[in-house]
């Protein structure tokens, strides 16, 4: 269901390589970050409000928050730079 929904929204998905722990590390780091920066600070139990707050956080995470692993760039700026190189 997730892959069908993602494809319908124009996203491409892929599985981590078998025995590719470095890819899993990135996913685990994202989960840690979102837990520390978002879920530990959320005070609502209303699912609609929670979804709105999560959407706002994910926008911040991808468009505004600099990432050390990306040389201080936001994910969207990093992707834009990489796509210009191709």
DSSP code per residue over 50-67: HHHHHHHHHHHHHHT--B
Rounded Cα–Cα distance for residues 72 and 66 (Å): 5
Rounded Cα–Cα distance for residues 56 and 19 (Å): 34
Rounded Cα–Cα distance for residues 80 and 9 (Å): 19
Domain spans of the chain, in order of start: 19-85
Global confidence as pTM: 0.71
- Which is nearest to 77 in space by CA: 86, 66, 69? 66
- pLDDT band per the 50, 70, 90 thresholds, residue 20: low
pLDDT tens figures, 48-84: 999 999 999 999 999 999 999 899 999 999 999 888 8
């Amino acid at each position: 269901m997730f892959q069908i929904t993602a494809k319908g929204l124009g996203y491409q998905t892929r599985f981590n390589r078998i025995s590719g722990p470095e890819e899993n590390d990135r996913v685990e780091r994202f989960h840690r970050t979102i837990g520390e920066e978002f879920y530990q600070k959320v005070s609502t139990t209303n699912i609609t409000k929670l979804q709105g707050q999560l959407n706002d956080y994910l926008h911040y995470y991808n468009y505004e928050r600099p990432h050390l692993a990306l040389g201080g760039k936001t994910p969207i700026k990093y992707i834009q730079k990489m796509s210009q190189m191709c």
